[in-house]
Amino acid sequence: MDKDDMILISVDDHIIEPPDMFANHLPAKYADDAPRLVHNPDGSDTWQFRSTVIPNVALNAVAGRPKEEYGLEPQGLDEIRPGCYDPHERVKDQSAGGVLATMNFPSFPGFAARLFATEDPDFSLALVQAYNDWHIDEWCASHPGRFIPMAIPAIWDPQLCAQEIRRVSAKGVHSLTFTENPCTLGYPSFHDLEYWKPMWDALVDTDTVMNVHIGSSGKLAITAPDAPMDVMITLQPMNIVQAAADLLWSAPIKAYPDVKIALSEGGTGWIPYFLDRVDRTYEMHSTWTHQNFGDKLPSEVFKEHFMTCFISDPVGVANRQLIGVDNICWEMDYPHSDSMWPGAPEELWEVFTANAVPDDEINKITHENAMRLYHFDPFTHVPREQATVGALRATVVDHDVSIQALSQHKDRAGGGYADFKSRLDAATAAQR
């Protein structure tokens, strides 16, 4: 195998939702209340509905921009690649980057759809169902075999959440995005088995994966309010480590032997130490904490339930046997600033060759594990020989992937953690 022979499926990318997404799916009685994208006098775009205003609609959608423009930008659709919000352009970008298929997390509703948890439960459910139907029936259906469908939850009600999981499962969806820490959003923790039981039942009954994405709790790991932005960026994966510990030691893991959880955008390099630590904790403390995994170690249980993913993680790839090759997927993170697009195949291949990864393991990490986990078979729509890096790129040789300066608000770029935190808090408050 060489670079152009790889088949790439990314399990973590992002949508910047288009202005017309609710046009065909929200009940007519809510037409006047539908979320709308408003272009403001300062050039920014915000999503607004009823009394809610969500700033920074396209935060960090910087694919195709020079690194000098990375930061809290962009703030308007006119500053981002059309592939961020247009599925037809997205597929071209995917092909130009050698990527067959992607799974796309939401943006403006929040990863766990906390924005849609309004004081009107009927309206809230209508928003969730409209979003899911748009995502499944328009975004994903526009190019079969190129998108793994994902649903957002009715997070405020476990029973409604379960009903929605079952509803979208009938449409072929086996992926649910959820929060890494329900407590920070005002709900019981993962340790409250009875509260969340309807959701766990539905996930297992439909073989749907719970995807907990970094940042989905609305909280960030940080050392000090005056810390530079680099501290926040470095610590971004730390919340997912906490989520992994919460979930591994929780009652649902023991009650549901078939439940599957993906740690989205959490990286993999930390996992060997984490597994060593949980086994040590179990050995030294289970007699008085009364934890019981039967005849298994916590590390073994982790490998039965959790999928991990990485963008470019040489440490994780080097230690893949300690993690479990069957437990690793690849992600591109388009259009965020950590993304490898459009040079993903080159960077990924360099990591694979540096660590002498054999072909069968490359196949598992790049696409086979994702296909198995999400019940996704792109080859019913795209023949395998047309799905490789080389074949996909050959179909869009004239597609422009050049780096272009797009910022129209350079005076707002940059800033430290305190600036970012104040804007995050404002957005989070608006979503509650």
Summarised one tens digit per residue, pLDDT across range 276-333 is: 999 999 999 999 999 999 999 999 999 999 999 999 999 999 999 999 999 999 999 9
Element (H, E) at 354: helix 344-354
Quick count: other Cβ atoms within 10 Å of Cβ 338? 18
Asked if residue 135 has pLDDT above 80, the reply is: yes
Residue 47 lies inside a defined structural domain of this protein: no
- At residue 226 the predicted structure's pLDDT band, cuts being 50, 70 and 90, is confident
Residue 293 lies inside a defined structural domain of this protein: yes
Residue 429 lies inside a defined structural domain of this protein: no
Residue 424 lies inside a defined structural domain of this protein: no
Beginning with the edge strand found earlier in the chain, give each strand of the sheet holding 45-49 in spatial order.
Answer: 36-39, 45-49, 52-54
Average pLDDT over residues 5-18: 97
Asked if residue 428 has pLDDT above 50, the reply is: no
Asked if residue 398 has pLDDT above 50, the reply is: yes
How many Å separate Cα 198 from the centre of its chain?
23
Residue 414 lies inside a defined structural domain of this protein: no
What pLDDT, on the 0 to 100 scale, is given for residue 425?
Answer: 54
* CATH number of the domain encompassing residue 19: 3.20.20.140
The boundaries of the domain holding residue 232 are: 3-36+82-397
**Residues contacting residue 82 through CB under 8 Å, at least 6 positions apart:** 89
Number of domains in the chain: 1
Average pLDDT over residues 77-90: 95
Instruction: Provide the token pair at 339.
Output: 């993304």
Residue 55 lies inside a defined structural domain of this protein: no
Residue 281 lies inside a defined structural domain of this protein: yes
**Residues contacting residue 32 through CB under 8 Å, at least 6 positions apart:** none
Residue 416 lies inside a defined structural domain of this protein: no
pLDDT single digits (tens) 276-292? 999 999 999 999 999 99
- At residue 426 the predicted structure's pLDDT band, cuts being 50, 70 and 90, is low
CA distance 356 to 374: 28
pTM above 0.75, yes or no: yes
Closest CA relative to residue 192, chosen from 112, 263, 250, 265? 250
What pLDDT, on the 0 to 100 scale, is given for residue 217?
Answer: 83
Token pair 């009394």 is at which residue?
51
